[in-house]
Amino acid sequence: MKRTLSLAMLLACPLFAFGADRADDFAILSQKNIFMRDRQPPPDPSRWASRSHETPRPYVPDPPAKSFVLRGVVIEDNELHAYIENTRTGDVTRLVPGDAVADGHCVGIALDAIAYEQNGNVQWIDIGQNLLGSTVAAPPPTTAPAGSTTAPSTGPSSSGTTASDPALSSIEQRLRERRMRTQRNSK
pLDDT at 124: 94
* Rounded Cα gap, residues 102 and 125, in angstroms: 14
pLDDT at 4: 53
* Mean pLDDT per 10-residue segment, the chain (187 residues): 52 53 68 70 59 72 90 91 91 92 92 92 92 80 55 46 54 81 77
pLDDT at 113: 93
* Rounded Cα gap, residues 130 and 71, in angstroms: 9
Domain ranges of the chain: 2-43, 64-126, 140-187
Residues with Cβ within 8 Å of residue 69, at least 6 apart in sequence = 84, 85, 87, 128, 129, 130, 131, 136
Between 2.60.40, 2.30.30, 3.40.50, 3.40.1130, what CATH number should domain 64-126 receive?
Answer: 2.30.30
The DSSP code sequence of 31-61 is HS-TT-TTPPPPS-GGGGHHHHTPPPPPP-P
pLDDT at 115: 95
The DSSP code sequence of 70-135 is EEEEEEETTEEEEEEEETTT--EEEE-TT-EETTEEEEEE-SSEEEEEETTEEEEEETTBBTTS-B
